[in-house]
Structure 1
């Protein structure tokens, strides 16, 4: 048997707000299935879903998304305009570059190039 990734789910406090942030980054139309569950079907990717949980984020994510947003500086600026915050500066090595960010609820993700 081989399993297939159906969706990636983020625990969060405000699914409707977070789905709109992520839809702005990855494309697709935000869907609010209920006050506790929202999702976006990102073109060319699996569904990204958001479920309300009572507890807040307590530590660094053990899993995060790496996104190719084209121009690293432009993608970062757009994400910040939408409510993200950067963590440190751009990291560059022989394989490319990346910028670590947090979404409006503190979930880490990266823009990558190279």
Structure 2
């Protein structure tokens, strides 16, 4: 059997709002679907989909996205303007640098650079 990743699904309260944040962040177009779902296309990777759920997020994600950027501080500032929040300070180690972030519904993601 050969499996292929088709989409990454994020549970959220407001898919139509959250997809617009991610679409702007990733330079893609939001797509609203049936039954309250929304998604953005990730060229070469599939889709980042948003599924409506009744409960709010209450614990840390077990999985998060690392978003490669040329300049972390510029990316952080732009994401904050879109509704994201910075978590802690930028970490620099032998692998490069990363900045932990929260999207508007509190889902963790990181900006990373080499």
- 3-state SS of paired residue (1:25): helix
Q: For 1:18 and 1:69, how far apart are their aligned partners in 2?
A: 21
Match of 1:86 in 2: 86
Please state how far the C-alpha of 1:42 moved relative to its aligned partner: 2.3
Match of 1:31 in 2: 31
TM-score w.r.t. the length of structure 1 is 0.95
| 8 A Cα contact 2:5 2:45, kept in partner | no
Please state how far the C-alpha of 1:35 moved relative to its aligned partner: 5.6
Please state how far the C-alpha of 1:43 moved relative to its aligned partner: 2.8
| 8 A Cα contact 1:67 1:110, kept in partner | yes
Match of 2:15 in 1: 15
1:41 aligns with 2:41: yes
Q: For 2:32 and 2:23, how far apart are their aligned partners in 1?
A: 12
Provide the aligned C-alpha RMSD in A.
Answer: 1.1
Q: For 2:113 and 2:73, how far apart are their aligned partners in 1?
A: 10
Please state how far the C-alpha of 1:45 moved relative to its aligned partner: 2.8
Unaligned runs of at least 5 residues, structure 2: none
Unaligned runs of at least 5 residues, structure 1: none
Alignment length (residue pairs): 114
Match of 2:70 in 1: 70
